[in-house]
Amino acid sequence: MSDTLTPVEQEIVRCTLSRLTCQQVAHQLRLSEGTVQAHLRSIYSKLGVASPLELLLCVYSGAVKATDEKVAAA
């Protein structure tokens, strides 16, 4: 399992953990909704998770070594 997330993926994780929808994340980050969904698929694959809840548990359990402290504090 790779836990190296790109800066954009880290920001998408932060937004997702803030309970923003894909549409809201796309608007905030000035990306298309399809791009956000593609990034989420990549994030889930890298971390071996299948849902926002599993993503939350992964981040807060410390299983993800986030280089951006904002992600861990989201």
Q: How many CA atoms lie within 13 A of 66 on its CB side?
A: 23
For each of the domains in the chain, give its residue range(s) and CATH number, in order of start: 7-69 (1.10.10.10)
Tell me the per-residue pLDDT of 20-72, one tens digit each, with 9 for 90 and over.
Answer: 999 999 999 999 999 999 999 999 999 999 999 999 998 888 877 554 444 44
> Can you give the pTM of this predicted structure?
0.78
* The pLDDT of residue 65: 57
pLDDT tier for residue 8 given thresholds of 50, 70 and 90: very high
* Three-class secondary structure assignment of 8-28: HHHHHHHHHHCCCCHHHHHHH
Would you state the pLDDT for residue 66? 53
Does 6 score more than 60 pLDDT? yes
- Distances from the Cα of 71 to the Cαs of 6, 13, 64, in angstroms? 12, 7, 10
Whole-number pLDDT of residue 60? 86
Cα 61 to its chain centre, rounded Å, is 15
